[in-house]
Structure 1
């Protein structure tokens, strides 16, 4: 049988459990704020800044999505997406065409100029990310990216309204 603990010991143990360094919300807020500071400058020349960057990254990865599918993938309102795509298209970074599978929908494609601009932006972001992740080994940084991506996918799935999930 263990020795009884005093009320002070119990409070101290509880306080240690509540340290900022172990609080997920605090950690996410600190990392998010720091990343926003270092990344915003890198993407500031793109139409829509960070949003424009996310659209180009999503488009660079594969099959051309419809505008609606792209809006869902990057978690943007469709109206906001339309204006953002207009701005990206005006700078020659993307193009839109009728979807051959559904002529009511339009596919969004990244242009060669969009790929080149994305590569430039990625260079600046890579330097910013390296600065932020400087205290991690390469393996730890990769693990962090993998884990955050998994959590982000969970968060994205849970942000879809039940009636949208049935589509």
Structure 2
């Protein structure tokens, strides 16, 4: 077993600053505090932001259900959120050409512009939180967190799409 994969020895320090749960909780709470203002004016706040980010990529527009799964939102919550985002002309929905019962969700030009504004504000908030890291460490942290988040998402949603 590699050094980095070895289980923790019981004799290792039990200080809070070595505990993963404590670190995740502290970072999560601090991020929520610094990020809240950045997304406050966006319909749905942080949830609305995640939907816009998920839609901003160059790919086939997802169905409402696929989008809800991607951003880990209940489909009913997603419907209300999309209603609000659509009322503000940030997204639009159209029938899915492959399935008349489904609706594809697309980000509008207004949504892209608003997302760019929010990302700039959020970037400044993130920079404050990551101020003690150099650019290489910041990029490494983002990469590692994205990998852990993908693992966490797989653990939350079972292969049949039901929540565990």
For normalisation by structure 1, the TM-score amounts to: 0.88
TM superposition shift of 1:15? 6.9
Aligned pairs for 1:84-95 within 5 A: 84-95=81-92
Q: Deviations over 1:45-93 (max 9, x none)?
A: 0111000000000000132100000000000000000000000000000
Give me the CA root mean square deviation: 1.4
Structure 1 segments of 4+ aligned residues over 6 angstroms from their partners: none
Q: Does 1:73 align with 2:57?
A: no
For normalisation by structure 2, the TM-score amounts to: 0.90
Match of 2:131 in 1: 134
Give secondary structure in 2 for the equivalent of 1:150.
Answer: helix
Match of 1:123 in 2: 120
> Which protein is bigger by CA-based radius of gyration?
1
Q: Distance in 2 between matches of 1:93 and 1:103?
A: 23
Match of 1:29 in 2: 25
Q: Does 1:19 align with 2:15?
A: yes
TM superposition shift of 1:163? 2.7
Match of 1:100 in 2: 97
Q: Distance in 2 between matches of 1:115 and 1:54?
A: 13
Structure 1 gaps of 5+ residues are: 1-12
Match of 2:50 in 1: 54
* Structure showing the higher helix proportion among its residues: 1
Query: How many residues align structurally?
Result: 153
2:41 to 40, 45, 54: 45
Q: Distance in 1 between matches of 2:11 and 2:23?
A: 17
Aligned pairs for 1:139-158 within 5 A: 139-158=136-155
Give secondary structure in 2 for the equivalent of 1:17.
Answer: coil
